[in-house]
Amino acid sequence: MLNWILDVLRGAVMGIANIIPGVSGGTMAVSMGIYDRMIYAVNNIVKKFKESLKTLLPIVIGMLIGLFAFAALIGHLLGTDSSTIPLTRLPTNFAFIGLILGGLPAIYKRVNIKKAGVPGLILFIVFFAIVVVLPLLTAPEARKVDHSFPVMLLMVGLGAIASAAMVIPGISGSMIIMLLGYYDSVINAMNELRAGDFSAVAILIPYLLGLLIGIVFIAKLMNFLLKKHTAMTFAAIFGLVIGSPVALLVQNTDCFAIATPGNWVACAVCCVLGFLVAYLLSRLDKSETVQ
């Protein structure tokens, strides 16, 4: 029962992480020690349905809780519903930087430096650079969505893109969605549904369908890479994870000018708390092994 509750909590952290541009739910999964068995369960959902369902159900429940319960809070803290930058935006991002850093020891243990060699080092540098460069791209203006059929098809595609954040550590689906200009629309749809506006279902159902489709296909790819090229895969993952805090700082340079001394103290506290949460969650799970 304790493991079930812990998996719900881990899923909630993943759900919240998937809302934050620059943070990957997959990174959180690796950090908290549930990545391998989650990927294994997705890939064996047909062959080992009961076993896979037992693994995935608490994680999915936690993710849904995290997504919907924190969509409004995260939107408010980050200022997605405002034209001005709130003072809470920087500490919120530092909390997630702490979450990423807290999981680094668990990830580093999986990196076989000798086996990865020079090719692994090159992959580390390349994937680090990819994550850091992404926020430097200019985001288009936020695009409004309606309930037309073309928009629904678009939402399926966006969901498939966002699914990469849940399966590939270091990739932020929210960041990509933001760069495409649809981040606010997705967050607003979740908040509208939570408030009882069921018209938002026309946007969210296609989006969730895209998530499921993307997760299945990308999970199979990651399962293959983890089996055949473990050292190289984790060298790339480590580069992605190391680059994520840098990406968050790059994204939020506009907050530095308005930050007060008290704001920086809050940033430090949030970062430490985030670190402790991720580190303790990763230490609690001793069952993680590559399947």
The answer to whether 18 and 68 have CB atoms below 8 angstroms apart is: no
What is the reported pLDDT for 36?
A: 83
Helix axes 201-228 and 35-43, enclosed angle (nearest 10): 100
Does residue 287 surpass a pLDDT of 70? no
Q: Where are the domains of the chain?
A: 2-284
Tell me: pLDDT of 257 over 80.
yes
Is the model's pLDDT at 286 over the cut of 70?
no
Res. 38: pLDDT tops 60: yes
Task: List the single range of 170-179, 186-195, 251-260 with lowest mean pLDDT.
Answer: 170-179
Structure tokens at 43: 């890939």
User: Does residue 266 or residue 211 have the better pLDDT?
Assistant: 266
Q: What is the mean pLDDT of the chain?
A: 82
- Could you tell me which residue, 130 or 170, shows the higher pLDDT? 130
Q: Which residues have CB under 8 Å from 143's CB, separation 6+?
A: 180, 181, 182, 185
pLDDT value at position 165?
66
Over residues 139-184, the pLDDT tens digits come to 555 566 777 888 889 999 989 888 876 777 766 777 678 767 787 7
How far is it, in rounded angstroms, from Cα 21 to Cα 146? 23
pTM over 0.75: no
CB 18 within 8 A of CB 59: no
The whole-angstrom separation of Cα 159 and Cα 176 is 11
Read off the pLDDT of residues 41-100 as tens digits, 9 standing for 90 and up: 988 888 899 999 999 999 999 988 988 888 888 778 877 666 678 888 899 889 888 888
Closest CA to 107 of 30, 199, 206, 197: 30
Per-residue pLDDT band at 289 (split at 50, 70, 90)? very low
Asked whether 28 and 17 are in contact (CB, 8 A), the reply is yes
Between 194 and 283, residue with greater pLDDT: 194
